[in-house]
Chains A and B, each alone.
Chain A
Amino acid sequence: MTPANATVFIVDDDADVRQSLSCLLESVDMKVESFASADAFIEAFDSRRPGCLVLDVRMPGRSGLELLEELRECGQSIPVIFLTAHGEVASAVRAMKSGAIDFIEKPYSEQVLLDRIHQALGADRRRRELEEQRAQIVQRFHSLSPREQQVMGMVVAGQLNRQIAETLGLSEKTVEVHRAHVMEKTRARSLPDLVRMALIVEEKASLDAMRE
C-alpha cells in the first residue's frame, strides 16, 4: 500500500528519538531519511521526491513551525506531521493553520503514528497524481492554437457556436471545426469535462501569477 519510492523525512534534534523513529518506520518497510535540524533538511530537500515530513516542534535553531511556514511559502505542499509535547495544544493549532496535515502528541501509540504516516503518504501520492494530471491538462491547453484557445474560452463560457461565429466573424462551420480540435487536443470527453479542465488551467495560471 505504500508506494515503493515514497520516503518519510524525519526532522528531530534528539538523536535517540530520531533513530528510534527511523527504526520503527523501517520495521514496517518504509523508506526513511532523518535530519538533525531544519537547516539540514532544507539543504537536502528535493520537492520532486514523494513522501511526507515528520517534524518535532521543539528544536533549537529553526523550529519545526518555522520550517513548515518556510516550506509553505515556497509553495512546497509536502504533507507534514507534527510531533508535539502533550498539552501543547496551542502550537499544534498554529501548526495546523500553517498547513500541517496532522499532529501527534508525544507520547504516542506507535500504531497511531504509523497510520498517520500512511495517510500522509497516501495524500502525497494523490496530490502528486493530481499535480501530474493538471500539468498534462495545462500542457494540452498550451498545445491549442490561439484561435482554438479563443474558441475554447467562449465555449467554456457557455456560448453557442452561432454566437461564437458571430463574435469572431467566422462561419459556424469553422467554429465547429475549431471546437472539434479543442475537444480532441484536450482529450475532453464532454463539455463539463472541458470546463473542469479550463478551471484547473485558470487556477494554475492564477497561482503562478501569485507566486510571481
Chain B
Amino acid sequence: MSPALDIPRAVTDTIEHVGMLLAAGFLLSHLLPLANRRGPLARSALLGVVFSLLALMSLLSALEPLPGVYLDARLAPLTLAGAVAGWPAAAMSFLISFLYRGGLGGQMIGPAGGSIVMATAIGLLYWHWRGRRRQPMRLSELLLLAAANVAQLAAWITVAETLRPGVAGVLSASLLPAEFGALVLLGVIFSDQQRRDHQRQVLRRSEQRLQRALSATQDAVFEVDYERCRQYLGPQLNRILSYPDHAVLNFDELIHPEDRQLEQRLADEHLAGVASHYEAEFRLRAADDRWVWCLARGRVVKRGADGRPQLWIGTIADISLRKRTQQALMRSEARWRSLVENADAYIGLLDPGGLILFLNRAPSGGATSVLGRSIFDLVPPDCVDPVRAALTEVVQAGRPQRLEIHDLRDRWYVCQLAPVREEGQVVAVVTIASEITDRKLTELRIRHQRDRAQAYLDVAAVMIVAIGPDERVQLANRRAAELLGCVVEQIVGQNWFDRFLPDAEREKVRATFHGILAGELKLVETFENAVRCADGRERTIEWHNALLYDVQGQVAGTISSGLDVTERRAAERALRDSEARYRSLVETREELILRLRRDGQVTFANEGYCRFLGQPRDAVVGQRYDARAHPDDQQAADDLLRDVERPPGRVSREHRARAGEAWRWIAWESSAIHDEDGRVTEIQLVGRDITKRKDAEAQARDRLMQLARISRLNTIGEMAATFAHELNQPLTAIINYAGAARNRLEREPAVPRLTESGDMMGRIITQAQRASELVYRVRNYVSRGTSSAASVGLNELVAEAAEFVRPEARRAGAAVHTELDDRLPPVVVDRLQIEQVLVNLMLNAIDAMGELPGRPHHLWVRTRADHQAGEAVVSISDSGPGVAADDLQRIFEPFVSSKNKGMGLGLSISRSIVQAAGGRLWAEHREEGGFFAFSLPVESNSTSGRAGRAAPPDAVDPAVAESAGPPGTP
C-alpha cells in the first residue's frame, strides 16, 4: 500500500477511526428516536440509520478491501434515493467518499475521508434537525451515545487486534483520550446550545412584556446610546405631544426654556452617578404650541469600565392633568388659608392627644405662642373634662362634637370639633371656637328667669302644661313629669296628643283643643280626660285651661293645670259599683231581708222575701212579721224582736213560717239599728230558707233512730231466739217428765186420786207447752216486724255506714278507708239490716283497735264482686289485736263477748241477718289484725224470689250453718 498522499499513517488511521466511530455513534443515536416511532422524526431517523450503515460498510470495506468489488458502487441507487428524499448533504458526503476511493484510488484517504465527510454531513444534518425543533438533547440520550461509542470502540479494538495484532494496545492508548475528548466536546456543544436557546426565549418574553406595559401606559420611551451617539424617542411621545407618528422629535427643541436648566442639572447628576435615578418634570411644547407637563424617569443601564454612561433609557409620561390639579389645590389652599387666618373664630388643629398643632391666630391677650401646648392648659379647670370627653368621642367614634366652654376670663365659646381622617384613622381634630359670650350671658339670664318660673311651677301640686298651636308641649312642670313618669325634658317639645293621650281619647281632645284655639269653642273651664303615662298606665286628669297670648295678642296656645283625680274617680266608681252590687245583692239574692219597726211591723221586705212568701210586696209591708211564724215557734220569733234590743244587739233564731200552704224553716239573724243617741230605731232581719237543711237533718235523725230501733229489735230478737231455745230445753224436760208421770199414773186406774194427779200432769204439760209457745211468739213478733228487702247498691251502704262510724273512729284515733269495687252488682237486702251489720262490724273493729292505744290505726272496708259465686263480698279489716284462731267460731255464739260492756250479741245478730239474706258471715285469723267478711248473693242470682225471711231453708238456723263449717277463704 503506497499512500497517494503523503500523510502519516497514524493520522489516516486516526481519521479513519474517528470517522467510523462517529458513523457508528450516529447510527445508534438515530436508533433512539426510531424507537419512538413517531411520524417525520422516525422517518428521518430511519434515513440516518440507513446512511450510517452505508458509511460503516464503506469503512469496513476500506479496511479490508475485496479485490475488484466496490460495495459502494452497488449502493449508488440508494444514495440517489437518499438525495431524492431530501438528504443531499448525506448523499454528497457518500459520493465524495465514493469518488475518493474509486476516482482517486487513494486507499487510505478514500474510506477515511469519505467517512469523515459523511459523518460530518450526517452530524450537521442532525444538529440542524435538532436545532430546528429547539429540542435539547436529553442526558439519557447522551449517556446512551457514550455507551454506544465505548462499545463500538471495544469492537473496533477487537477488529484492529485481529487484523493487525500488536497495534491494539497502542491504538486504544492513543484513541481513548480522543474518544472522550470527542464526547466532552459533544456535551459542551449540547449544553451551550441549550443555554442559548433558553436565554433567547427569556429575552423575547421580557421584551414582549415591556412592550405591552408601555403600550398600556402610553408612556413614551427614550433611549440614549452614548456608544453609538444615538437618541431615540418612542412614538408615544408623538402622541402625547399631538405630533404625527412619523415626525422625528428633538428633545432639546421641545423643552420649555424655564425647565431646561433644571432638567439639565438633574440629568447631569444622574449621569455622573450622583443620583441613583433620573426623575425630572418639565414642560414640552406640543404641536399646537401649548405646553405639556411631562415627567421623565430613567436610569443608566450600562456603564463603561470607567463609569461613563453607555446606555441611558427611561420613559416620559404626560402629567399635565396631575399638574393642573396640583395647581388648583395650591390656589384653593391659599384661599382657605386666607379664610382661616382672617376668620373671626379660632380655628385650630389638635392632635388626638390634645396638643395644638395649628391655631389661626393667637388667643386674645394670651400667650404669644400656643403651638405645641396642650389644649387642656388653655381652658379653665371646670372645662377640662367636657373638652376631654368631646375629644375622646371625636377621636374614637369619629363623630363631630359641639360644646360650649369658657376661658379663664369668662368669655364663652361654642367649640366645634371634627375629625381629620387619614386612611380611616383619625389623625387630628379640627376645632373651631366662636365666641358667644354675649349670647351666653343672655341665655343665662333667661335661664335664670325661667328656672325661677319653673320653680314656681314645680312647687305647684297640680301638673301644668302649656301647649302651643303646633300641639307641642312648650312647658311642663315637675309634677307633670312625675305624673307622666318621665323627666321634664322628655315632655317639652313632644306632641302632646300623640305622645301622652290614650288612643281612645286622642282625636276627641285634639279636636277640642283646636276648636278652642280657633275660637270656635268656648274655653272649657274644667275638662276631664285620661293621659297615658310612660309605663302605659292611664290616669284621669281634671284640667283647668287658660289661653296664652303672644305679644300681638294672638292665641299662642293653652296653659292647663291638671289635677290627678284617678284615685278619686276610681273610688267613686268603686262606690257606685259597690252600691249597685249591694242593691242587687239585697234584691236578687236568696236571702230574705226585712226591716221592722220595734213592734214587729214590716217596713221593708226584699224581693227574696216576697218571692219566698209568694205574695206581693204590698201584702207584706205593714204586716206584723211574727204573725207568720209557726204557733210552736212564737218564742223564737219574739226573741228576734225583744232580745235584739239588749247587747250585743244581734240574735240568731230559727223558726218556721208559713209560705203559701207550707211551713218552711227560716234561719233569721236580727240586728238592731240604732240612731245617734244609741236608741233602737229599727230592726233588720236577714234570713235564709233552711227548710232543705232541716229536712235533711230530720231525715238523718229518722235514719239514725231507725237504725237504733233496728239494732234494738235485732238485739231483742236475738236474745229472744236464744232464750227461746235455752228455755225450750227445760220445758221439754218438764213435758217429758210430766208425760212419764202421767203414763205411770194411768196404769193405776184404781186409785182415783192418782188419776186426778194424772190430769194435773196433763195440765203441767199444757202449761209448759204454753210457756214455750209464748217465748217463740215474742221472738217471732220481734224479728218479723221490720223486714223489707229491696235492691240496693252495697257500695252505697258501705259508704253510708263508714260515714256513720267516722266520728267514733276519729275518737279512737283510727282512719277509715274504703276501697269499693265499682262493678259491684246490686243486692236484694233489707237496707237497714245490712247497714246494721256493717255498723256492728266497724264499731267492733274500732273497739278492738281501742284496745291497742297509742298508735295510728286504720280500718279498711273493701267491697268486691265474686262473679263466679254470684256474690258480693264485703270485708272489714282493722289494725287491732285480731281474733285468735281458736275463737273464730265461738265469737259468733250469743252472749260471747270480748268486750267489757256489751251483751255479746252483735256478731250473733249480724250473722243471723246475713244468713237471713242468703249470705255468709265469717271471721279470719290474720297476723296484722282483725278480719271479718260477709257475702251476699247478687241480684241477678236472686231472681228466684228470695227475700227477707223467705231465705233459703239451709241458711236460717245459725247452728246449722255453723255446723257446715266455716266457709272457704274468700
Closest chain B CB from A184 CB (angstroms): 51
* A58-B725 in contact (CB<8A): yes
Knowing A109-B769, A110-B765 are in contact, say whether A23-B737 is a contact too (CB < 8 A): yes
A93-114 interface with B by 8 A CB criterion? 93-94, 106-111, 113-114
Q: Is the CB of A94 within 8 A of B960?
A: yes
Chain A residues 10 to 31 lying within 8 A of chain B, measured CB to CB, are 14, 16-17, 19-21, 23-24, 26-28
Indicate if A6 sits at the interface (CB-CB under 8 A).
no
CB-CB under 8 A from A93, the residues of chain B are 953
B728 touches A16 (CB 8 A): no
B355-363, B669-677, B738-746 - interface stretch: B738-746
Tell me how many residues of A have a C-beta within 8 Å of chain B. Answer: 35
A111 to B743 CA separation, bound complex (whole angstroms): 10
Measured CA separation A94–B955 after assembly (Å): 11
Known: A63-B959, A85-B724, A107-B731. A90 touches B740 (CB 8 A): no
A107 touches B728 (CB 8 A): yes
The one of B728, B738, B955 in contact with A90, judged by C-beta atoms closer than 8 angstroms, is B955
Cβ of B733 under 8 Å from chain A: yes
Whether A87 lies near B960 (C-beta < 8 A) is no
Cα-based distance from A89 to B780 in the complex (angstroms): 13
Q: Is the CB of A110 within 8 A of B736?
A: yes
In the complex, are the beta carbons of B780 and A87 less than 8 A apart? yes
Chain A residue nearest in CB terms to B952:
A90
**How far, in angstroms, from A98 to B769 measured CA to CA in the complex?**
28
What's the least CB distance linking A21 to chain B, in Å?
A: 5
Instruction: Give the contacts of B941-957 with A (CB-CB under 8 A).
Output: 951-957
Residues 651-693 of B contacting A (Cβ, < 8 Å): none
Closest to A14 in B: B729
Asked if A23 contacts B957 (CB within 8 A), the reply is no
Chain B residues near A14: list those with CB within 8 A: 729, 733
* A87 vs B953: C-alpha distance when bound (angstroms): 11
Give the residues in chain B near A113, CB-CB below 8 Å: 739
C-alpha spacing A23/B742, complex, angstroms: 11
Q: How far is A106 from B963 in the complex, measured between Cα atoms in Å?
A: 20
| A24/B963 contact (C-beta < 8 A), A58-B725, A85-B725, A109-B765 known | no
- Chain A CB within 8 A of B169 CB: no
Nearest to B776 among chain A residues (CB) is A86
Q: Is B495 positioned at the interface, with any CB of A under 8 Å from its CB?
A: no
Contact with A along B464-487 (1 / 0, CB 8 A): 000000000000000000000000
**B944 nearest CB across to chain A (Å):** 15
> Hey, what's the 0/1 contact readout for B143-181 against A, CB within 8 Å counting as 1?
000000000000000000000000000000000000000
By beta carbon, the residue of chain A nearest B771 is A107
B963→A66 contact, CB < 8 A: yes
Distance A94 CA – B724 CA, assembled complex (angstroms): 22
B735 touches A108 (CB 8 A): yes
**Interface presence of A65 (CB below 8 A):** yes
Give CA–CA (A82, B702) in the complex, Å.
Answer: 45
- Residues of chain A with a CB closer than 8 A to B951's CB: 90
Given A63-B959, A108-B735, A110-B735, answer yes or no on A27-B780 (Cβ-Cβ < 8 Å): no
Among A86, A94, A110, A114, the one with the most B-chain Cβ atoms within 10 Å of its Cβ is A110
Among B738, B779, B954, point to the contact of A110 (Cβ < 8 A): B738
Chain A CB within 10 A, most for which of B731, B739, B773, B959: B739
Q: B residues 726-761 with Cβ under 8 Å of A?
A: 728-744
Q: Is A7 an interface residue (CB 8 A)?
A: no
Q: How far is the CA of A89 from the CA of B955 in the complex (A)?
A: 11
Q: Mark B206-243, 1 if CB is under 8 A from A, else 0.
A: 00000000000000000000000000000000000000
In the complex, what distance in Å separates the CA atom of A88 from the CA atom of B733?
A: 19
> What are 5 A-B pairs at a CB distance below 8 A?
A24-B743, A58-B959, A62-B963, A109-B765, A113-B739
Q: A90-B951, A110-B735, A110-B738 are in contact. List 16 more A-B contacts (CB 8 A).
A: A21-B732, A23-B737, A27-B744, A63-B960, A63-B963, A85-B724, A87-B776, A89-B953, A90-B954, A90-B957, A91-B960, A93-B953, A106-B731, A107-B772, A110-B739, A111-B739
In the A-B complex, the 8 residue pairs with the closest CB atoms: A110-B739, A90-B953, A20-B736, A27-B743, A23-B740, A107-B772, A16-B733, A27-B740
